[in-house]
Structure 1
Amino acid sequence: MPARIESYKDMIVWQQAMDLVVAVYAITRQWPKEELYGLISQARRSATSVPANIAEGFARENRGSYQQFLRIAQGSLKELETHLLIAQRIGIAHHDSISSLLDQAESVGKLLRLLIRKLSGTSA
């Protein structure tokens, strides 16, 4: 029997999203300083938005509101993926490092989709 979730901190999706944030901060430290207010800032903001919205949604006492925050987290995740792909295309990030982050993002995305489906009562 799974442990009871008493806090958003107990949720695997939040934990993985936090790990993704740490990884994004680590990789963006290696990007050119000229991107500090460009892609670095954008990637970090979108990454931090994912666990923040999971936490905020968890705090809501309304299922619909919770689902909406999870959808916002999904959008931020896709925004992050796009920033990472742009960094790769313009040559400030290597394929291997981006690939690892995209794999992490995919895992978080799958968990978000599963949670949204569970909350909506649909299995598909």
Structure 2
Amino acid sequence: MQNYKDLRVWVKSHELTLKIYSVTKNFPKEEIYSVTSQIRRASSSIPANIAEGCGKNTKNDFGKYLNIALGSANETEYFLLLAKDLGYLPIEDYLILEKNINEVKAMLILLIQKVRA
């Protein structure tokens, strides 16, 4: 359908994933297979599903993958909150990442609406 790298929402979600990988390097080592892994997988699922959806042949298929990406964005938002509440993520980092994930979610919602129209 289109090159996913041309979508602003893909760029923003990829940048968010890179930031999350960076901040989670400081999480406790005992969390490597738990919170660290889950937040990384959830965040990387956002741009991955956008990319996969761009490779599909129909708008309906693209829309399905955008919905999956939105679900992963919500999951990422929760894991950011959990990491903050567990004391793994400093409040300053949390506030920046929370703003970023909410921007990604808003962009996804707008793109989903556009694809469905």
Normalising by the residue count of structure 2, what TM-score does the alignment of the two structures yield?
0.96
Given the alignment, which residue of 38, 41, 46 partners 2:34? 38
| 1-structure distance, mates of 2:63, 2:79 | 24
| 1-structure distance, mates of 2:19, 2:3 | 23
Q: Which runs of 5+ in 1 are unaligned?
A: none
Structure 2 residue 46 is the aligned partner of structure 1 residue 50 = yes
Structure 2 residue 21 is the aligned partner of structure 1 residue 22 = no
Alignment of 1:56-95 (within 5 A): 56-95=52-91
CA-based RMSD of the aligned residues comes to 1.1
Paired-residue identity, %? 37
Greater RCO (CA < 8 Å, at least 6 residues apart): 2
Q: How many residues align?
A: 117
> Which runs of 4 or more aligned residues in structure 1 lie more than 4 Å from their structure 2 counterparts after TM superposition?
none
Greater gyration radius = 1
Given the alignment, which residue of 89, 106, 111 partners 1:110? 106
Q: Which runs of 5+ in 2 are unaligned?
A: none
Q: How big is the shift at 1:114? A: 0.7
Structure 2 residue 97 is the aligned partner of structure 1 residue 101 = yes
